[in-house]
Structure formats: C-alpha cells, structure tokens
Amino acid sequence: MTSHRANRVAEEIKKEITQMLREEIKDPRIGFVTVTGAEVTSDIRYAKVFVSIYGDDDTKLQSMQALENAKGFVRGELGKRMRLRYTPEITFRFDSSIEYGARIMKLLEEVKETEN
C-alpha cells in the first residue's frame, strides 16, 4: 500500500515531467507523448512513469529510447524542482490503455454500423 505522501509525490512527478516534455526536452525523436500516470514506491526511491505515445510502432520505439536517454536530465530537474531528500530513480513504461480504449470504441462503432 502506498502512503498519502507517495501519492502526492507521484502526482507532482507526473506534473513536472509533463511540463518538461512540453517545454524543455527538445529531442526530435520524442513524438506526441502523454504522461498518463506515475507510481512511486513507499520509500520514494523509485518512480515508474507511464506514457502513452501516439504514432506507429517505430515512432513509439524511438520515443521510448529518447525518453530512456533523457532519464538523467529528468531526474536532475526533478531534484532541483522538488524538495525531497532523495530524488527517485525514474523508469519510463509504455501505457497502452488509451490505445486499447480507442480500439474498443472503434469496434463498438463497427458493431453499431452493422446492426443498422
């Protein structure tokens, strides 16, 4: 079970990384990336940041590699912006839930059309 503090830190990490992706990280390999969530361990040493990436498989792979390369920068910036004793180790994870939801919606639309 994560603590209330860990949840607050996770939300702050999500907000800060979203801002970094929008305004500061200028790697052309990073496509249309959305931070969908963050989870922090109860000791706030490790953070998983979930991202959704719009595009084909090649775009997704390049974006994930670019995010992996930017981990050091992201962690350093979090250390400057957030007042924590330890800045958590960041891991980026691909979140396919938005894609899955879009696919389900498309299938429901197709079923609806065939019924009419």
* Span 84-101, pLDDT tens digits: 888 999 999 998 877 788
Instruction: With cut-offs at 50, 70 and 90, classify the pLDDT of residue 112.
Output: confident
Report the CATH number that the domain containing residue 37 is assigned in CATH: 3.30.300.20
Q: What is the pLDDT, as a whole number, of residue 19?
A: 94
Cα–Cα distance, 94 to 70 (Å, whole number): 15
pLDDT in tens, 44-68: 999 999 999 988 889 899 999 999 9
CB 15 within 8 A of CB 47: no
Q: What is the pLDDT, as a whole number, of residue 116?
A: 67
Cα–Cα distance, 116 to 104 (Å, whole number): 19
Question: What residues make up the domain containing 109?
Answer: 4-115
- How many domains are contained in the chain? 1
